[in-house]
Amino acid sequence: SQTIHQWPATLVQPVGSPLSLECTVEGTSNPNLYWYRQAAGRGLQLLFYSVGIGQISSEVPQNLSASRPQDRQFILSSKKLLLSDSGFYLCAWRYGGASTDTQYFGPGTRLTVL
């Protein structure tokens, strides 16, 4: 069966510090991968998606970036965090190709920028 991991679960960082959030998927190969952000009491905002190693598409220009160094690893980064980067970050995966369109979500990372 497939599982998706995210870490850390919670993170408190000062403004201006760097960020690295990691997401890994097990039990499948060549998945589509996604990063979402959920601000407090708000809906989901798609930040980045990837259909393969080294292939990253950005939905929202901002001070965040994403990388996919391995097939089942997706990393969200920032060089300098802003207060507005606080939120709940969710990673999701989907089977590659057009066989199914269901996305499966990880447990999330709660980021607080002070």
Contact positions vs another protein (CB under 8 A): 6, 32, 42-44, 46, 49, 51, 57, 90, 92, 94, 98, 101-108, 110
- Nearest residue (CB) to another protein, 7 versus 80: 7
Residue among 78 and 109 whose Cβ is closer to another protein: 109
Quote the CA–CA distance of 36 and 111 in Å, as a whole number.
Answer: 13
* Closest distance to another protein from the beta carbon of 106 (Å): 5
Q: Report residue 76: phi and psi, to 5°.
A: -110, 130
Nearer to another protein, 7 or 79 (CB): 7
Closest contact distance (angstroms) between CB of 114 and another protein is 20
The distance of closest approach from Cβ of residue 59 to another protein in the complex, given in angstroms and rounded to an integer, is 8
Please say whether the beta carbons of 111 and 14 come within 8 A: no
Nearer to another protein, 38 or 73 (CB): 38
Helix (H, G, I), strand (E, B) or coil at 93: strand
Give the span between the Cα atoms of 34 and 90, in whole angstroms. 8
Report, in Å, the least distance between residue 107 CB and another protein: 5
